[in-house]
Chain A
Amino acid sequence: MGEDSKLGALRKGFLEFLVLRIISGSTVYAADILKKMAATDFATQEGTLYPLLSRLRREGLLDYQWQESEAGPPRKYYRLTAAGQRQLTEFDAYWAHLNQTIDSMGS
């Protein structure tokens, strides 16, 4: 469990980045995001995602609008704001930089 929780902490740090990335692809609603992440290591749950989405919205990185759905009540569809797009670009560049750094270290 020790190793797993270390890796867990790593993943937790990436969660925001990943959510921004998913939303940048197309407008999505929360269940879409969960679905996209479900088959990956970043599988997460409503209890984690919803507070994160709300914080990102407060920080002005994303925005939502209500849309009718065929089944059930209207849903919140999220998209990135300009600030969110900038943040994602920064994340991407930093991630590439980090990768290079990590690759250049060690054997």
Chain B
Amino acid sequence: MRPVISVSLNGRAYQLEDDAHAALAGYLEAASRALAGNPDQAEILADLEQAIADKLQRCLGPHKTVIARSEIEQVIQEMGPVDSGPGSGAAHDGVPPGAPSPGSGGAGAATGAAQAGAAAPKRLYQISDGALLSGVCKGVAVYLDVDVTLVRALFVVAAVLTGGLAILVYILLMFIVPYANTPEEQAAARGLPFNARVLVEQAKLKAAQLADVAAHAAMNNHSREARAQWKAEWRKARAEWRQDWRRTRAQWRAQRWAGAAAGPIPTVPPPMPPLAHFISGLIWAALGLVVALVTLGWLLALFSLVTTGAVFGWIPHHLPLWAVVIALILIFQAVVWPLRAARHGMIPRVYGYAYPWHSFLDGLVGLFVLLLVLWYLTHHGHDLQQTFDTLQQNAQPAWHQFLLAWQTLVHGWH
């Protein structure tokens, strides 16, 4: 059992545990001292009390009516030490909300930064301030405390390597990850006080924004408002989509749990004549083989590039290695993607909607092709090498001619 003290904050009653009351009284007393001699002392104190009351409101609920000391201390940290005004030297150097210095005046601000990192919980948010698209990369960068450019670069590389899967992930995150709107959320997104590097970067950004001269102020205000409005609407729409998506996901789950037998079948294609069915099955299998062979060739090309610095004997003189790797990946995706798409389009024709069977058979065919190729390599590897050699011998002059033609074409234009 604990004694509880009732207080009125700007005309509203709050119940505090006794040590919570002591902490709050200490803060307000320090504030009152700092504002001594300020003609607006009473008004500022009332405003501070109102802000504290607003913050305490979120700690209370139908089953929680008393404020504990830890909650008061959290609120006091967010409020920060009260600045006694111009020229007083009670420096407060922009410590973000969440940095502690409970009731200890200005001195706590400097030492508080280190503790804040440990105390503040971190969450992943989208941050629209300084965002390129939606703020996912920015949010991740802030969460991991690294440069946003690094995250963006890694994301682009991931997008290429995964054949666009990363873009899908980005879009999903865009709809799932919440925005940091309130100061509390923004503090939680960072979790840590700013370090000097991020600080300088943001200062640069701010400088660029503030550099608009006053002459354009009216015009800028207008366009800024329009942009803000557009952004707000876009965000609202996105929130709705997000809800839709959650609902759909819940339905998916429900259906999956209801039983795999009754899968979500929108339409069943009309039954095919047996011959057509057989032929489409053949085409489907052939497409699979082509994809498998292309994949294999691509892997061999990558392997030969990394080990010998040449793609099947062709040495890329003018390009750095990474550029050739990326080019190979892009070419591979460009070739394979339509084949895969065509193949997936045929699944319902060949198998109906028995998805588990399709993936199982797909795996079997892939395994078979792999074994076949391995067998071929072990028995005819030498022949293959010769084939590559002759291919290279034939291809090289053709390639040189192409380069020559290209150069004359380009120079002809100059």
- Chain A interface (Cβ < 8 Å from any Cβ of B): 1, 3-5, 7-9, 11-12, 15, 21, 24-26, 30-31, 34-35, 38-48, 50-52, 54-55, 57-58, 72-73, 76, 88-89, 92-93, 95-96, 99
Nearest CB on A from B372, distance (A): 58
CB of B82 closer than 8 Å to a CB of A:
yes
Task: Give Cα distance in the complex from A85 to B44, angstroms.
Answer: 24
Some 21 contacts from A to B, beta carbons below 8 A apart, are A12-B93, A15-B94, A24-B217, A24-B221, A25-B221, A34-B97, A38-B186, A38-B187, A39-B127, A39-B186, A41-B202, A43-B94, A44-B94, A48-B92, A50-B82, A55-B40, A58-B39, A76-B47, A92-B214, A92-B217, A99-B207
Task: Give Cα distance in the complex from A56 to B80, angstroms.
Answer: 20
B214 touches A89 (CB 8 A): yes
Given contacts A7-B199, A51-B38, contact A12 B82 (CB under 8 A): no
CB of B210 closer than 8 Å to a CB of A:
yes
Given contacts A8-B94, A47-B81, A48-B80, contact A73 B10 (CB under 8 A): yes
Q: Beyond A11-B94, A42-B94, A92-B210: 9 further Cβ-contacts under 8 Å?
A: A7-B93, A9-B93, A34-B97, A39-B129, A44-B80, A45-B95, A51-B84, A51-B85, A58-B39
A50 touches B213 (CB 8 A): no
Nearest CB on B from A61, distance (A): 13
The bracket for how many chain B residues form the interface is 35 or more
Residues on B with beta carbons closer than 8 Å to the beta carbon of A42: 94, 206
Give the top 6 A-B pairs by smallest Cβ distance, nearest first: A8-B93, A45-B80, A47-B80, A43-B96, A38-B183, A92-B214
Contact with A along B201-231 (1 / 0, CB 8 A): 0110011001111100100010011000000
CB of B194 closer than 8 Å to a CB of A:
yes
- B20-40 contacts to A, CB under 8 A, are 31, 35, 38-40
B92 touches A54 (CB 8 A): no
- Chain B interface (Cβ < 8 Å from any Cβ of A): 10-12, 31, 35, 38-40, 43-44, 47-48, 50-51, 54, 57, 78-86, 91-97, 110, 127, 129, 180-183, 186-187, 189, 194, 196, 199-200, 202-203, 206-207, 210-214, 217, 221, 224-225
Task: Give Cα distance in the complex from A41 to B190, angstroms.
Answer: 12
Most A-side CB within 10 Å, residue of B39, B129, B186? B186
Task: Give Cα distance in the complex from A102 to B307, angstroms.
Answer: 52
- Cβ-neighbour of A41 out of B203, B212, B225 (below 8 A): B203
Nearest CB on A from B3, distance (A): 28
Given contacts A72-B57, A73-B11, contact A38 B83 (CB under 8 A): no
B93 touches A45 (CB 8 A): no
B31 touches A47 (CB 8 A): yes
Residues on B with beta carbons closer than 8 Å to the beta carbon of A58: 39-40
Nearest CB on B from A20, distance (A): 12
Task: Give Cα distance in the complex from A11 to B47, angstroms.
Answer: 24
A51 touches B83 (CB 8 A): yes
Residues on A with beta carbons closer than 8 Å to the beta carbon of B54: 31, 72
Most B-side CB within 10 Å, residue of A4, A9, A52, A89? A4
A96 touches B213 (CB 8 A): yes
Residues on A with beta carbons closer than 8 Å to the beta carbon of B203: 7, 41
Nearest CB on A from B245, distance (A): 26
Task: Give Cα distance in the complex from A52 to B11, angstroms.
Answer: 24
B96 touches A46 (CB 8 A): no
Task: Give Cα distance in the complex from A101 to B316, angstroms.
Answer: 49
Residues on A with beta carbons closer than 8 Å to the beta carbon of B200: 7
